[in-house]
Amino acid sequence: MSVLPQREPPLPASPTAPRFESWAHLVFRRFIHHRIAVVAALVLLVIMLAAILAPWVSPYQLGQPDLSAMLAPPSLHHPMGTDDLGIDLFTEVLFGGRVSLTIGVFSALVAVLVGGAIGSVSGYYGGIVDALLMRVTDVGLSVPLLFVVLLLSLLIGPTPVSIITIIGLTSWMYPARIVRSQFLTLKKRDFVEAARAVGMRSARIIVREIFPNAMAPLIVNATLLVGQAIILESVMSFLGAGLTPPNISWGYLLNQAQSFTTSAPWLAIFPGLMIFLVVLAVNLVGDGLRDALDPTSIRRTR
Amino acid sequence: MGVFIVRRLAQAVPVIFLISLLLFFMMHAMPGGPLAMYVHQPGITKAMLEQIRIDYGLNHGVWTQYVDWLDKAVRGDFGYSYVYAQPAVTMMLARLPATLELMLSSFLITVVFSFLLGVYSAVRQYSLGDYAITVVSYFGFSMPTFWLGLMVLILFSVQLHWFPAGGISTAGAAFSLGDRLWHLVLPMLVLAFYTLASESRYVRSSMLDVIRQDYIRTARAKGLSERRVIWRHALRNALLPVVTVMVMDAAYLFGGALITETIFSWPGMGRLFIQAILQSDYPVLMAIVSFLSVVIVLANILADVLYGLLDPRIQYS
């Protein structure tokens, strides 16, 4: 065990802040000042809760047709209208949120884990390992993403797990580059030297010493990846190469809405509005996090 | 400079090779193989299947097939479409002009307006206009292109009937430029929106960096008109990082075109790709993905080279 300090303080405490304030608390305090980001975080929270609690908060049962209201426009009974079978769109959107959000979060997680691992190894070891892994990253960045994702979905067959894998394994390149560049600077710092001096193994230094210090920009990127993954999944479903019932995602609802652009435009409006809201909120939260995690990037406000 | 270009090209070769290998093996990993669609056809016999296998060269080992494929691919032969029995490349090239028409017009709009909006935003930082542009561009890159497309289609064609609901021209009518432009407006704007949103931000931040520099103050002190200071002195240096992004984005417009073409029934390459996906038409898919990969790699190189040409401080040795 090392008796040396486990990690350097990631952020220099501002002169006014008490020295004992924890990093997480400091970040939280900075984030709270970012008013738009806080509102976005709340919106996101509400949408996520509504999706998680869908079976309890939805006004109708999923897939239960209301034969008296087929293709009904939005009303008090059906806040988002109904489809051609009289199925309540609001209910479908709530359940669709479960699918879309799950895919978004887990795809980002896969991308960050894979990218984090590749970036860490690449940055820490350097040399031929780095050259090889970065060439592979180049390949990842040189394929036409949307086309390849659709092709993979066709090949593997779209299930929630396969979609998460496909999106995750085609989105790890930026996280990898971010983590690598962090490692390149961090590995020269004294605390890494100290860890080596007390005989810590490389794997342990990477995971326990350097990685925690390289996290900040990765967290910001992970947030943005959630939004991108949600859009990518919905594009796949929209184009007919993504999830199909019983896994109704917002993209699938939009795919179905295409046949009713004349008779029932609300079918196309609401699911897309949800995607838009979530992605917008995620991007704003990401911006807030960036400012909160990195004091040098704080934008001047009036 | 010439040496640099050659070296960049040489670096791209292994990347392209790895991509081709990746894609080729992906296709052969599929369940049922390329013959899946024939197996389910009524009236097909084992002997006929075997004949098709041999015709398509599927009876050889996978590596032999790859080498065979690569050899042909380099010469632009991606085999025949499983569905239309036409050369895949011919089908792709036939669709390319429509896609390029859409992409180039979008790109033009993006470049012109991202400069206008970006420079305005930077010069009038924190003004009402700057805030409005910021908000709209935030919306722009949070909005899924396909949803924007659907909304625009519903509003402007289905409800208001201002623009046609799809296609590249009126069916059966003789060619007329007005008609073509009429059909182009909606898909072009939808495709441009996302890149416009992000690129106007790049122009803005790049301009902001430049505007604060001393030489701009000097230019102003010399008594040059503000217009000249901004558009000649500042923009020239602000261009550098932006050009790279724009060239890269131009290649990625293909992805946006895929979505836009599907929504607006635009007879381009993207729509061909979606058809091929739905029909498991692998030679066509392979041709398109290979083509686009090469385009992206070349765009990367072009961006690097342009950067060098525009910035005399960069020495390539």
**Chain B residues closer than 8 Å to A148 by CB:** 23, 289
For B250-288, what is each residue's pLDDT tens digit?
877 888 889 999 889 889 999 999 998 888 888 888 889
DSSP state of B220: H
pLDDT at residue B104, as a whole number = 92
Supply the mean pLDDT for chain B: 83
Confidence of residue A61 (pLDDT cuts 50, 70, 90): confident
With 50 as the cut, is the pLDDT of residue A5 above it?
no
Q: How far off is chain A from B285, nearest CA to CA, in Å?
A: 8
Amino acid at B85: A
Confidence of residue B315 (pLDDT cuts 50, 70, 90): low
Cα distances (Å, whole numbers) of residue B234 to B213, B219, B229, B237: 9, 10, 6, 6
pLDDT at residue A2, as a whole number = 43
Instruction: Give backbone dihedrals phi and psi of B27, rounded to 5 degrees, phi first.
Output: -65, -35
Identify from B13, B27, B146 which residue to disrupt to test chain A contact, counting A C-beta atoms within 10 A and taking the largest count.
Answer: B146
Instruction: Give backbone dihedrals phi and psi of B305, rounded to 5 degrees, phi first.
Output: -65, -45
**Chain A residues closer than 8 Å to B29 by CB:** 155
Looking at chain B, the whole-number percentage of residues with pLDDT higher than 70 is 92
Confidence of residue A302 (pLDDT cuts 50, 70, 90): very low
> What mean pLDDT do residues A172-186 have?
90
ipTM of the complex as predicted: 0.83
At CA B145, angle to CA B144 and CA B151, rounded to 5?
Answer: 95
With 70 as the cut, is the pLDDT of residue A17 above it?
no
Question: Residue B20 in contact with residue A139, Cβ under 8 Å?
Answer: no
pLDDT at residue B142, as a whole number = 87
Give the residue among B206, B243, B211 at the shortest CA–CA distance from B226.
Answer: B211
With 50 as the cut, is the pLDDT of residue B155 above it?
yes
Q: How far off is chain B from A274, nearest CA to CA, in Å?
A: 10
HEC profile of chain A: CCCCCCCCCCCCCCCCCCCCCCHHHHHHHHHHCCHHHHHHHHHHHHHHHHHHCHHHHCCCCCCCCCCCCCCCCCCCCCCCCECCCCCEHHHHHHHHHHHHHHHHHHHHHHHHHHHHHHHHHHHHHCHHHHHHHHHHHHHHHHCCHHHHHHHHHHHHCCCHHHHHHHHHHCCCHHHHHHHHHHHHHHCCCHHHHHHHHCCCCHHHHHHHHHHHHHHHHHHHHHHHHHHHHHHHHHHHHHCCCCCCCCCCCHHHHHHHHHHHCCCCCHHHHHHHHHHHHHHHHHHHHHHHHHHHHCHHHCCCCC
Of A16-20, A72-76, A271-275, B27-31, the least confident: A16-20
Say which of B26, B254, B262 has its CB closest to residue A151: B26
**Chain A residues closer than 8 Å to B14 by CB:** 135
Looking up tokens 């971010």 gives A178
C-beta atoms of A272 and B22 within 8 A: no
* β-pair partners for A82: A88
C-beta atoms of B126 and A302 within 8 A: yes
With 70 as the cut, is the pLDDT of residue A131 above it?
yes
CB atoms within 10 A of CB B86: 13
With 50 as the cut, is the pLDDT of residue A299 above it?
no
For A133-143, what is each residue's pLDDT tens digit?
988 888 888 88
C-beta atoms of A268 and B147 within 8 A: yes
Confidence of residue A10 (pLDDT cuts 50, 70, 90): low
Map residue B196 onto helix, strand or coil: helix
Whether A262 has its CB under 8 Å from any CB of chain B: the answer is: yes
Supply the mean pLDDT for chain A: 83
Q: How far off is chain A from B17, nearest CA to CA, in Å?
A: 9
Looking at chain A, the whole-number percentage of residues with pLDDT higher than 70 is 89
d(CA A152, CA A165): 10
d(CA A51, CA B17): 44
Confidence of residue B34 (pLDDT cuts 50, 70, 90): low
For B2-32, what is each residue's pLDDT tens digit?
777 888 788 778 887 888 788 777 666 655 5
> What mean pLDDT do residues B55-78 have?
77
Q: How far off is chain B from A127, nearest CA to CA, in Å?
A: 17
> What mean pLDDT do residues A177-187 have?
88
With 80 as the cut, is the pLDDT of residue B113 above it?
yes
Say which of B29, B147, B254 has its CB closest to residue A275: B147
Which one is predicted more confidently, B114 or B249?
B114
Cα distances (Å, whole numbers) of residue B97 to A69, B94, B202, B261, B282: 46, 7, 29, 13, 22
Cα distances (Å, whole numbers) of residue B252 to A6, A272, B194, B300: 43, 23, 11, 11
Question: Residue A267 in contact with residue A253, Cβ under 8 Å?
Answer: yes
> What mean pLDDT do residues B111-132 have?
90
